[in-house]
Amino acid sequence: MKNFSSFLIEAEKQSKPISGHRVMTTMRTQPMAHPGHILNANNAMDFAKKEGGDLLHFPSRTQDLKDNPVPMPIKAKAFGMMAPQHKDKMNIDPERRTVVDQLKQDYKDGYKDVTLQVGEDRVEDFENFFRRTNGTKPKSGGEPIYNFDNVRVMSNGIKRDPNSDDPIQKMSGTKLREMFKKRDIKGIMEVYNHPLVNPKFRDKLEEFITENIYPWMSKDNQKLQLDNDTRDLYRRGMIFNEGDWVESTIMGFIGQVHRRGANHLICVTEDGYMFKSFITDVIIL
């Protein structure tokens, strides 16, 4: 790994476009994207054009009955409708379930450089993971899964502030999910009444939600896996035991539990690389 930086301001110091450069964003977007995601995607598109890179948006494949009920194809469909400029930039290939799967394919395809845009709270986790994996042979043996010349992780630059007058800074995925669970259509309409959202999508928003989003959400608005229940079951040794396969709902990585901590797991991917997740941020596979 020749170069590694965290933020867009560092990436912008590159004066010349990078050939063979993959620019990728990650998106959880449950139950669907909001204007903040569009702003992130637009910024990434501008950055990719400046760097001469190929843009790709990677919506999370995670689906569970707790906080991630809507399947990836529906989320991708919604984002393509509300931001048509990004419709053909979405990765919906079911064979590439994780960011690592995509990067392995990019490396095979000849990409030399990668810039990954993630939420500010995920920058450090991704940096640490790529430090351990890029150009490094897994402990299980074999060749590195990828060996890019440059891997850069940058924050999307949006800071959440519930007291801000800026609707994008004020909005959070957690707040939006609560609106959907409560069927607060008035509040939802206000969120999407934003100039970044395609007007044609806004006109059909209620119809789209009713037909495509609500059917995937629990009608009683209750979590089927409460965090407190998870912690209790974990302490009793009934879930997330060594050898179990889990998926991180934060980073999208899939791995086998290698070691159990007080409130976290050390997991190993099928390629032999380790990552850490809190027990409330994983689902059993």
- Where are the domain boundaries for CATH 2.30.30.520 in the chain? 227-284
| CATH assignment of 1-223, among 1.10.1200, 1.10.1610, 3.40.50, 1.20.1250 | 3.40.50
Cα separation, 135 vs 148, whole angstroms = 7
Instruction: Give pLDDT tens digits for 162-219.
Output: 777 777 877 787 888 889 988 999 999 999 999 999 999 999 999 999 999 988 886 5
Residue pLDDT, tens place only, 213-250: 988 886 544 444 445 577 888 888 888 999 999 988 77
First to last CA, the chain: 32
Q: Choose among 76, 71, 95, 78: nearest CA to 25.
A: 76
**Fold annotation for 227-284:** SH3 type barrels. (2.30.30)
pLDDT tens profile 100-124: 889 999 999 999 999 999 888 888 8
pLDDT band at 69 (very low <50, low <70, confident <90, very high): confident
* Percent of the chain whose pLDDT exceeds 90: 45
Interval 3-51: pLDDT, tens: 433 333 343 444 343 459 999 998 888 899 999 999 999 999 999 999 9
Domain(s) of CATH 3.40.50: residues in the chain:
1-223
pTM of full prediction above 0.75: yes
Q: Is the peptide bond before 31 cis (omega within 30 degrees of 0)?
A: yes
